[in-house]
Structure 1
Amino acid sequence: MSLRAEISATLSRLQKLAQTGYLIGLHIRFTSPIMTFQTYPQAWSDHYTANAFALRDPTIAWGFSTTGSVRWSAMPIPDPFGIMADAGRHGLTYGLTVSCGPIKSRTIASFAHSTREFTDDEIEVISALVRRLHDITEPPESLTKAQQEALRCIAEGDRHAAAAAKLGITESAFKARLISARERLMAKTTAEALQRAKDYRLL
């Protein structure tokens, strides 16, 4: 199974367990996750963003303070802004937050249910799936010289033909290097691969 297929299959399993949706931030570095997956109701997502709740969300504060899992009803972090109650009014009545990975590359994921608490067995399965997502999306430690050269050409504004001529290779060989870089960086587009390479400080 390809990486993308495994990610898709894992997210599908999580969606079946989290009836009201989820928000997964993978490998949060320098305050931003390298990948985000979200299926919460649009009304809640819009409300959450408009009110900048991420800066005050107790689930995120908890996720950075420790690893493991916690039901929202047992959240030990104070919620002075009433974000959890607000979530409940949007149908996210019961929830679970899972945190894993080192603090320099933390994954924090929350899951919601409108009618009941998550069971212990469900929490165990969800936690394992989140850890798997974290593991398979681990950013690379480096790029090959060929991948770096190809991305640098794009960063400098070269078109494929010009970049290939600059590197002394065929255009098809240059495109192959870009494909290789995208795959290594788990990016859908070359622009996304370039941004990730910069974010990971690989260029």
Structure 2
Amino acid sequence: MGNLGLCTSIERPYLRFMGRNQNIDDLLVELGDQAPSGYYLALHVRFAAPLMMFQTYDPRWIDHYTQNAYALRDPIVAWGISRTGATRWSDIDLPDPFGIMQEARQYGLVYGVCVSCGPMTSRTIASAARSDREFSEEEIATISGIILHLHHETEPPDNLTPAEIEALQVVASGERYAAGAARLGISESALKARLASARKKLFARTSAEAIQRAKDYRLL
């Protein structure tokens, strides 16, 4: 149903933070409009963790799912990892020995669609749910388009500039801004500008988060 269980934090939808742009927020609202019972979205799963993750399912289901470590057993997650495209949950032909999909029905996740796109090295996996009926072909096409758009809008950088890398490295070493700027021979405002640029590229809220993501993506 969708919780890879691999992300260090779960972003609450519609909360803007440094690096997010209005277009991404608008697309999340569109996705929510298409999923009456909520959605799950893991963007750019790389090195066992998504760049960003969003969920609007019933919080009770999210807690139950996490406590039972269902991510390792979920046929929907398995489908999204192993294939690309879109499919209704009812058409997924993978085994569900733990009855996860049946349990999900108790939380309003009765009908759904899974969408997977991108290469294995940067896969985006999403699910949208409703309780009343199957998604139509037109709705599936709309949801798929939103997911693909979000995938492209949040594409992680392939590289950082030398100046951005230096700024992240000096902060990672524990230097305060003033000392770090002096070490690099630049003003404190210039250091902060480089850090802000790196955070924006990495969709990070803080410099610490940017440093970790840069390491995860082998940019540092």
- Range class of TM-score, shorter chain: over 0.9
Check whether the contact 1:3–1:136 (CA below 8 A) recurs between aligned residues.
Answer: no
Comparing 47-56 and 176-185, the one that deviates more: 176-185
- Are positions 1:91 and 2:115 aligned together? no
- Are positions 1:146 and 2:163 aligned together? yes
- Are positions 1:14 and 2:14 aligned together? no
**Which residue of 51, 54, 57 maps to 1:40?**
57
**If the length of structure 1 is used for normalisation, what is the TM-score?**
0.97
- Give the equivalent residue in structure 2 for 1:167: 184
1:35-64 CA-to-partner distances (Å, cap 9, x unmatched) read: 101111100000000000000000011111
**Which residue of 80, 94, 105 maps to 1:77?**
94
| 1:86-165 mapped onto 2 (5 Å cutoff) | 86-165=103-182
Structure 1: give runs of 5+ residues left out of the alignment. none
**If the length of structure 2 is used for normalisation, what is the TM-score?**
0.90
Q: Partners in 2 of 1:82 and 1:202 — Cα distance?
A: 41
1:75-94 CA-to-partner distances (Å, cap 9, x unmatched) read: 11111110000100111111
1:14-43 CA-to-partner distances (Å, cap 9, x unmatched) read: 001100111101111122111101111100
* Residue aligned with 1:157, SS: coil
Higher helix share: 1
Structure 2: give runs of 5+ residues left out of the alignment. 1-18
The Cα RMSD (Å) is 1.0
Deviation at 1:3, TM superposition (A): 5.3
Q: Partners in 2 of 1:82 and 1:141 — Cα distance?
A: 40
Q: Which has the higher contact order (CA 8 A, sep 6+)?
A: 2
* Residue aligned with 2:197, SS: helix
* Residue aligned with 1:20, SS: coil
Q: Give aligned-pair identity as a percent.
A: 57
Check whether the contact 2:47–2:216 (CA below 8 A) recurs between aligned residues.
Answer: no
- Give the equivalent residue in structure 1 for 2:6: none
- Are positions 1:62 and 2:79 aligned together? yes
